[in-house]
Amino acid sequence: MHFEDETDEGEDDGVQHVEKQYRGIHLNFPLKRADLDTLIDAFRRKKQQKLHPRFVAAILREATAKLKRLPNLNLASTAISKQVTICGDLHGKLDDLLVIFHKNGLPSAENPYVFNGDFVDRGKKGLEVLLLLLACMLVFPGGVFLNRGNHEDNIMNSRYGFIKEVQSKYRNNSEKLLKLIEGVYRWLPLGTIVNNKVLIVHGGISDTTDLDLIKSLDRGKYTSLLRPPITDSNAPGAELIDKVEWKQVFDILWSDPQSWEGCIPNVLRGAGTYFGPDVTKKFLKKNKLMFIIRSHECKPDGYEIIHNNKVITIFSASNYYELGSNKGAYLKLVGPQLDTHFVQYTAATGKTKRLTFRQRVGLVESSAIRELRGHIISNREKLESEFRKMDLDQSGYINISDWCRIMESATQLGLPWRLLRDKLVTMELETGKVKYSTTFDKLNDSDISTVQESNTVVETLYRNKANLEAIFRIIDKDNSGYISLEEFSEACNLIREHIPNPLTQEQLLDMCKMMDMNKDGLVDLNEFLETFRMVDPEQKGKEARLLCEEFKDERDVVNTFAQICAFADQTPKTSPTAKSNFDIVFEKLKNIFFCLNCIINLHLHVLWHFASNCFDIINLTQFIKSKLKAEQCDFGMNNV
């Protein structure tokens, strides 16, 4: 195949002159690990040199030849690797793919991956993502399984940007390259089965999904699911068979789960179905499967578990709608029982690197509040009615506790409304009451469209973020990105002799469980930081006064909290007396605060307030590092 020159210097269109005109990287075929490393290094550069179309075409052709030899449903196993990693939609977000490889390692037979479709469209680096995944598949046999998604389709690409991306990057050769890409799409497997126990497909299932039929159909004739399949058969009934098969492919690539029972057409997407928990249960029983893993939908946390833990959605493109809109995640199936472990992340794009911490947090918060606006507006009539019922003297103000209760009762969102109050509503400083009409006033676009310059919630809470990150990396001795109970206990044991009244093993277990917010048995960086919320020193006195107004029945408890804060402020650092007195009071109050649930994470506020007064956090970091060096432990301190 003849390719024209893509450089800006000349008009020479001969491939034979590549060496003269081309200044980018060179690849050797068949691809080796060194070629993959070169490709990754080239793609991650800020000023990326365009890969010559000859090399692009060679990757596409070799990948197509290999894909043709694969079954319709990949068969993956953990017999050798003991685990397998599943990634969801990437949608042209190269940064997310590189983050995954950085955190979880490159693919190999010992570290296999399943990429569950939708590699391209929407993002700006769809071609790089596709080429990198295909190159990994070629370099690591048995280490990469690729599933087709609904965006591996040239009609979808024409609507959502990938065709324009290829045309802009290879304006002289785009038609030829797009033809080769179409061939890759046609031969991508339709799903993967792990250990004959777990089905991984991009969309989902329907009440007519037949795995035997899917295994036997000719997937190569589906150049696009949005137009009839290619067929040479004129035999009677061939058209009917094609339509049945066509629907099978449509359903597994386009369907979404629903919370109610039954199976109905997916009118929102115009293809596939909505399938309920009863459909899932019947399908799993028939095919002797444990659960289904699918992608196809963006989730705020990067994943979702529904249908009685039988359907898992995994979505790997972070910041999908906008900066801060969602986390990305990947899923690890571990051991013969295929235990699930989720890893979340947010890719640091070039834009976020240029933002300050305050600006990044402001963008995240504005995105979250925009999402929240729809829920509040949809319940406005109910909220206004409940607000007026509590406003007996028609003053326009109600207690913060009543406002929080009404907000939760009306929306059922399970949010920490007390922490969100400054972002959602105006309060009267003297009385601490809420002007409830402003619940809706603060939802205007002008209030949330710009980056906040005032102190943000997260900035206030994470005032020692850098030091906490350093400590996290020290405790995480295997650099896995999360802390196990064993690692946490080991780190505490190293400094036990220097801490007055050291904690018992049971207390350490409780503390680690407290940090483990998603209850997966491990503590990631976000959970670690979230645990060490800090009370803003300028707000402590006001908070105590407001609490006294809000919780008159618990006045003694709240006063005790205020006394603890004042006591810790006045006590010299590293004071054994402070630690001893605090332990007694804290243990006494902890269960009360849990039962009353009168303030979010109040026990953690108190704990960190005390810790920050009893230990100089910077000196503590240096101490731990020196202690670990003395113990000759390699905890990845070069990264600290």
Domain boundaries, the chain: 15-350, 355-459, 462-640
Task: Give residue 18's pLDDT.
Answer: 54
Q: What's the confidence (pLDDT) of residue 371?
A: 59
Token pair recorded at residue 230: 């290619």
Fold match between 15-350 and 355-459?
Answer: no
Determine the Cα angle at 404 with ends 401 and 405, to 5°: 85
| Per-residue pLDDT tens over the stretch 580-603 | 444 544 444 444 443 333 333 333
- How buried is residue 396: exposed, middle or buried, by Cβ count under 10 Å (0-12/13-18/19+)? middle
CATH 1.10.238.10 fits 462-640, yes or no: yes
- Asked if residue 507 has pLDDT above 50, the reply is yes
Whether residue 600 contacts residue 419, with contact meaning beta carbons closer than 8 Å, is answered with yes
Please tell me the predicted confidence (pLDDT) of residue 120: 96
Choose which CATH entry (3.40.640.10, 1.20.1080.10, 3.60.21.10, 3.40.50.970) describes domain 15-350: 3.60.21.10
pLDDT at res. 547: 42
Type of residue found at 73: L
Contact 462, 544 (CB under 8 A): no
* Residue 27 burial (CB count, 10 A): 21
* CA pair distance 430, 618, nearest whole angstrom: 38
**What pLDDT is recorded for position 558?**
43
pLDDT(263) > 60: yes
Of 369, 290, 317, 264, the C-alpha closest to 92 is 317
Task: Say if residues 61 and 180 touch (Cβ distance below 8 Å).
Answer: yes
Of the listed ranges 13-17, 225-229, 302-306, the least confidently predicted one is: 13-17
Percent pLDDT > 70 in the chain is 62
Would you state the pLDDT for residue 70?
96
Task: Specify the pLDDT at position 298.
Answer: 92
627 pLDDT band (50/70/90 cuts)? very low
- The pLDDT score that the predictor gives to residue 428 is 84
Structure-token pair, residue 220: 């190569």
- The answer to whether the beta carbons of residues 182 and 223 sit under 8 Å apart is yes
Answer whether residue 113 shows pLDDT above 70.
yes
DSSP code of residue 220? G
Alpha-helical (H) ranges within 496-637 are 505-515, 525-531, 537-550, 555-570, 576-596, 602-614, 617-630
**pLDDT tier at 1 (50, 70, 90 boundaries)?**
low
Residue 565 in this model has a pLDDT that exceeds 60 = no
Model confidence at 497, in pLDDT bands (50, 70, 90)?
low
Report which secondary-structure segment, H or E, holds 304.
strand 303-306
Q: Which among 438-452, 470-484, 580-594 has the top mean pLDDT?
A: 470-484
Q: Which of 87, 93, 85 is nearest to 325 (CA)?
A: 93
Alpha helices in 232-300 (DSSP H): 238-254, 277-287
Q: How confident is the model at residue 608 (pLDDT cuts 50, 70, 90)?
A: very low
SS3 category, 514: helix
Looking at residues 130-143, what average pLDDT do you find?
96
Between residues 307 and 320, the one the model is more confident about: 307
Residue type, 426: T
pLDDT of 231 higher than 50: yes
Distances (CA, A) of 530 to 367, 460, 461, 523: 19, 12, 8, 10
Measure the CA–CA gap between 274 and 262, rounded to whole angstroms: 8
Distances in whole angstroms, Cα of residue 176 to Cα of each of 58, 187, 224: 12, 18, 17
Kindly calculate the radius of gyration of the chain based on its CA atoms and give it in whole angstroms: 28
* Cβ contacts of 422 within 8 Å, gap of 6 or more: 457
Are the C-beta atoms of residues 126 and 89 closer than 8 Å to each other?
no
Catalytic residue among 151, 296, 605, 609, which?
151
In contact, 620 and 457? CB cutoff 8 Å: no
How high is the mean pLDDT of the chain?
A: 75
Residue 253 CA to residue 251 CA, distance in Å, equals 6
> Would you state the pLDDT for residue 206?
97
Q: What is the mean pLDDT of residues 187-208?
A: 97
**How many helices, marked H, and strands, marked E, lie in the chain?**
28, 19
* 539/599 Cα distance (integer angstroms): 15
Neighbouring-strand partners of residue 343: 330
Instruction: Please state the rounded mean pLDDT for residues 185-208.
Output: 97
pLDDT digits 0-9 by tens, 379-427: 788 888 899 899 988 898 998 888 888 888 887 766 667 767 777 888 8
Q: pLDDT band for position 234 (50/70/90)?
A: low
Give the confidence band of 5 by pLDDT, cuts at 50, 70, 90: low
Question: What would the DSSP string read from start to end of 552-581?
Answer: GGGHHHHHHHHHHHHHHHHSPTT-HHHHHH
Residue 501's pLDDT band (cuts 50, 70, 90): low
Q: State the pairing for strand pair 256-257/273-275.
A: parallel
How far apart, in whole angstroms, are the C-alpha atoms of residue 428 and residue 458?
23
Domain 355-459: give its CATH code.
1.10.238.10
Examine the pLDDT at 629 and tell me if it is beyond 70.
no
For the chain, helix, strand, coil in percent to 5 are 50, 10, 40
For the record, the structure tokens of 596 come out as 């009353």
The dihedral built from the CA positions of residue 268, 270, 275 and 280, taken in this order, carries a sign that is negative
Query: Where does the pLDDT of residue 610 fall: very low under 50, low under 70, confident under 90, or very high at 90 and above?
Result: very low
- Cα torsion through 276, 277, 281, 282, rounded to 10: -30
Annotation marks residue 151 as catalytic: yes
DSSP annotation of 496 reads G
How many whole angstroms separate alpha carbon 488 and alpha carbon 483?
Answer: 6
More confident: 411 or 528 = 411
pLDDT at res. 585: 46
Does 235 have pLDDT greater than 90?
A: no
Helix, strand, or coil (residue 343): strand
Q: Which of 46-60, 189-203, 610-624 has the lowest mean pLDDT?
A: 610-624
In sequence order, the 6+-apart residues with CB closer than 8 A to the CB of 561 are 544, 547, 589, 602, 606
Confidence (pLDDT) at 484:
80
Q: What is the pLDDT of residue 540?
A: 42
CA distance 443 to 383: 14
pLDDT of residue 156: 93
Size of the chain, expressed as the number of residues it contains: 640
- Structural tokens at position 459: 């900035």
